[in-house]
Amino acid sequence: MKKLIVTEKNDGKKLNTYLLNNIEGLTYSLFSNTLRKKDIKINGKRINKDIQIHTGDEIQIYISDDLLNQKAQNTEITQNIETIYEDEQILILNKPQGIEVTGQKSLTTYIHNKYQKAKFKPMPCHRLDRNTYGLIIYAKTQEALEIMLQKFKNHEIEKHYHAWVYNIPQEEQKEITAYLFKDTKKARVYISDKPEKGYQKIITSYKVIKKNKQNNTCILDVQIQTGKTHQIRAHLAYIGLPIIGDGKYGKNEINKKFKKKTQCLCAYKLKFNFTTPSKELSYLNKKTITIKNKDNATI
């Protein structure tokens, strides 16, 4: 909670102007959301409108430091966005942890600001979770976007992930099938071995590429044939291979042991395997793009 007393020089100003000028990290969007929830008091009375303030008014705004610090965090994150590949048709970035692909103050917002003079502002062709880092493709033309979306739909682009997990599976390589239910209200998914009402079939493949028997962890190369929300995280946890650092599907005691607060999951490789006409993107066929997984050095 922040508490401010209006001085004479601010008499008659609008509430939003005063707060935006006096609370570091506050944005207009965040101010509007806080106002809508009636989390602002003036002289002890909750308000939900942007009103004029006067000398001596006591303003209390109930907002967490985490939300106020998000602006600074996002600025730091966007400064570390690395371009891995770019041509006239597509852009491939290494998305950092801690930023959404779409939405307010997202990776797409950053890209649109960077390419604000372009005739077509680059658009994402797929998604990654907020705290999953790695390769993501943006299309720089409408034609490239349509082709890329179709290629992903046809499974003509391989997406490989590195997952640092706790426990070492008995089978070095395996394809596993299950069923996933998405609970939108709880913002999480549930896995079942059997088909149930509301559940969708998922297929996840993994291969052990590095292991450490001493701390009972390994790095998996993971591929998904069905790209459902949180599929890799939830499915691996379900079969006893929780991703280290995953606060939603992992185990807190394991995350604390390895001092990880976000899932160690990296989209490290893209491979273009076009089997249908790809028009102006045909030059990408058989091309592979990779980045280094920062967790490889940990194990």
Tens-digit pLDDT profile for residues 171-221: 999 999 999 999 988 889 999 999 999 999 999 999 999 999 999 999 999
pTM over 0.85: no
Tens-digit pLDDT profile for residues 113-169: 888 888 899 999 999 999 999 999 999 999 999 999 999 999 999 999 999 999 999
Average pLDDT over the chain reads 91
| CATH fold for the domain made of 2-63 | 3.10.290
Burial classification of residue 133, based on how many CB atoms lie within 10 Å of its CB (0-12 exposed, 13-18 middle, 19 or more buried)? buried
Would you name the residues annotated as active-site residues?
Answer: 129
User: What pLDDT is attached to residue 11?
Assistant: 93
Tell me how far CA of residue 85 lies from CA of 88, 171, 173, in angstroms.
11, 35, 30
Please provide residue 8's backbone torsions phi and psi, each rounded to the nearest 5 degrees.
-60, -35
pLDDT band per the 50, 70, 90 thresholds, residue 299: low
For the chain, give every domain's residue range: 2-63, 73-153, 155-299
What is the number of residues in the chain? 299
CATH of 73-153, one of 3.20.20.70, 3.40.50.1820, 3.30.2350.10, 3.40.640.10: 3.30.2350.10
Q: Do domains 2-63 and 155-299 have the same CATH topology?
A: no
| CATH fold for the domain made of 155-299 | Pseudouridine synthase (3.30.2350)
